[in-house]
Structure 1
Amino acid sequence: MPVVPTYFQQDMPVISRPDQAPVATPSTLPIRKHKFPAPKLRVHLDDIGHEGSSVFLSNIKGNEDLEAQVQNVLNLLYTHDSVRPDTRSVTFVFRQYQGLAYTTGTDLDDDHKEIHVNLAYLTRVKEPRHEILGVICHELVHCFQWNAEGTCNGGLIEGIADWVRLNAGLSATHWKQEAGGSWDGGYQHTGYFLEYLEQRFGTGTVRKINEGLRVGKYDEKKLFGGCCDGKEVEELWKEYGHELKKKEAEKAAEGGEKPTTTEEGKTIPTDTPPKHEDAQ
């Protein structure tokens, strides 16, 4: 087994709690096979006296944790020789506004990203280190993923971000698998579906989906057909639903319980930039 480089070893508390992990959370964290060049990382605390600033500083080692999440994202989405977006810097802006977190390009150019996180939100989470790293991981995906030249389905964009968060061992404790509605509902709803595709069609399937969004406009049939043995995504979604029901029935039978419908996980949208009048 490869030795994990020392720059990923941390003295901070562990970030995953197996007893609270969602059903589809991988049992082990990804092996970081390659150390990618990291962009310039900056942190801006808008109000050092805010309680949320204290929560961030008390739980996150900026010189280690932020780059570790960059490496998580890049190793899950790319190989060492993949073509990647030319993101040159990421600035984490912690401030108070009406929202949770979002990612945007800067006024300079889109190769310089800003991740905005609401300080007030940080004061309300039960496990701040785990949740902050999870939110940061999700938002960093938006700094490095392809998006079909801006035409990609938004649900898929958000689903890929939560798939990375899931595989980085940072899934939120309220997440649950379910197959109601459409496959592109986004966030963990789509993230778990992508994990199903990854397990069914082999390691690297989501990486292929991301690569398929690098050049050209969004073509759903071509994208999923090329990554999933010619199948259409709606067909795969139905098969995913049948698989979940089968597992539920098996679990109920083992426990002597009646099968129950899958509970829909609570989705907390994180990526809608606030309107100007909402900023504080």
Structure 2
Amino acid sequence: MPPLDTAEEQSSHVCPAPTLSLQLHSLDDAGVERFARSMQAHLSLRQCLEEVWRALRYDAPEAPACRKVTCLTLVVRPMDGVAHTAGAAGQDDHKQIHLAAGHIARCHASDDAALHEIKGVLWHEMVHVLQHDGRGTVPGGLIEGIADWVRLKCGLAPPHWARTPGPSWDAGYEKTGESYFLVWVSDHVGEPRLVPGLNAAFATAEWDNGAAFRTLCNGQTVEELWAAYLKSFDGDRTAAPPARPTEAARP
């Protein structure tokens, strides 16, 4: 793989090489200070970009590339919630990841634990930078589930995550089982590259009632796959499912 600072044109087999920038707001903030102390941002951003790109890339002839990005800025600042990804007005290839300083400051007692959490959130948001969304038609729960699937795949899940049935396949986030559902389908339906295949499909096709799942999973609908996933759980399944978390409550 070529270095990230080359200007080689992006393809499905070449990691994007955007200009990477870092903004730290309010250096007196405890969360901003911990971020600066805990991680080497210039190395972690490059590592994050490469790992997320590899996780999403569909290794097949003529596979569409991940979303094109020419400029990426990580902003660490005081704000509500945990993190979000934003684009620049009129510049779809310019992206920003905003990370809440307060979340960094309050979540963990040690810098090592904080670093693990920072990287987990950053990897999740990087998925939103690179992933396709079927021209905005893919259900939000699946968009978030794919991001948490990548976080899980990269070994950055927080210790409280657990495989649970969840209320529905598209409820989103790890607490409802979306990322674990995608793992299960990949392991049991004969399509180990399910998530990259979905991302490649959504580069050119809309959601269309889950047509990409049917193509990748031997004609099975996402509802049929979800029913099979629920049957994989032992014990009493009559208990109420966990409540869907809000963005501010994540991760």
For Structure 1 versus Structure 2, the TM-score category normalised by the shorter chain is 0.7 to 0.9
- Residue matched to 1:102: 84
On the 8 A contact 1:103/1:271 being kept in 2, the answer is no
Correspondence for 2:162 among 176, 189, 212: 176
Q: Against the structure 1 CA distance between its residues 170 and 97, is the aligned structure 2 distance closer, same or farther, given a 3 Å change threshold?
A: same
Measured after TM superposition, the shift of residue 87 of structure 1 is 0.9
Match of 2:67 in 1: 85
Q: Compared with structure 1, are the counterparts of its residues 61 and 94 closer, same or farther at alpha carbon in structure 2 (3 Å cutoff)? A: same
Aligned partners of 1:102 and 1:270 also within 8 Å: no
SS in 1 for 2:195: helix
Give 5+ residue unaligned stretches, structure 1. Answer: 8-33, 250-257, 273-280
Map 1:46-65 onto structure 2 (within 5 A).
46-65=25-44
User: By how many angstroms is 1:38 displaced?
Assistant: 2.7
CA distance in 2, matches of 1:191, 1:75: 17
Secondary structure, counterpart of 1:214 in structure 2: coil
1:131/1:262 Cα in 2 relative to 1: closer, same or farther (>3 Å)?
farther
1:239 alignment counterpart = 228
Superposition deviation, residue 82 in structure 1: 4.2
Following superposition, the deviation at residue 264 of structure 1 comes to 3.9
Match of 1:72 among 19, 44, 51: 51
Q: SS of the residue aligned with 2:187?
A: helix
CA distance in 1, matches of 2:181, 2:158: 16
Larger mean CA deviation between 212-221 and 141-150 belongs to 212-221
Shift of 1:265: 8.4
Task: Describe the shift of the 1:267–1:240 C-alpha distance in structure 2 as closer, same or farther (beyond 3 A).
Answer: same
Tell me the secondary structure at the aligned position of residue 244 of structure 1. coil
3-state SS, counterpart of residue 105 of structure 1: strand
In the aligned structure 2, how far is the partner of 1:106 from the partner of 1:123? 28
- The 2-side partners of 1:38 and 1:165 are apart by 21
1:94 to 1:121, Cα distance in 2 relative to 1, 3 A: same
Deviates most, 77-86 or 210-219: 77-86
Residue in 2 that maps onto 1:187: 173
Tell me how large the CA RMSD over aligned residues is. 2.9
2:201 matches 1:223: no
Q: Structure 2 counterpart of 1:218, which letter?
A: W
SS at match of 2:232: helix
Give the match for residue 119 of structure 1: 101
Contact 2:149 2:179 in 1 (8 A): yes
Distance, in Å, in 2 between the alignment partners of 1:98 and 1:259 is 35
Matched, 1:211 2:193: no
With normalisation by structure 1, the TM-score equals 0.75
The CA deviation string for residues 171-207 of structure 1, in whole angstroms up to 9 with x for no partner, is 1111111113110111112111111111122321111
Partner letter of residue 53 of structure 1? V
| C-alpha spacing 1:221/1:62, structure 2 compared with 1 (3 Å) | closer
Report Cα offsets for 1:109-149 as digits up to 9, x if no partner.
12100111111111012220000000000000000000001
Asked if the contact 2:87–2:95 (Cα under 8 Å) also holds between the matched residues in 1, the reply is: yes
Over the matched positions of the two proteins, sequence identity in percent amounts to 33
Deviations 1:25-69 (A, max 9, x none): xxxxxxxxx772332111101111111111101111112111111
Range moving further from structure 2, 213-222 or 226-235: 213-222
Secondary structure in structure 2 of the residue aligned to 1:110: strand
Unaligned 5+ residue runs, structure 2? 5-12
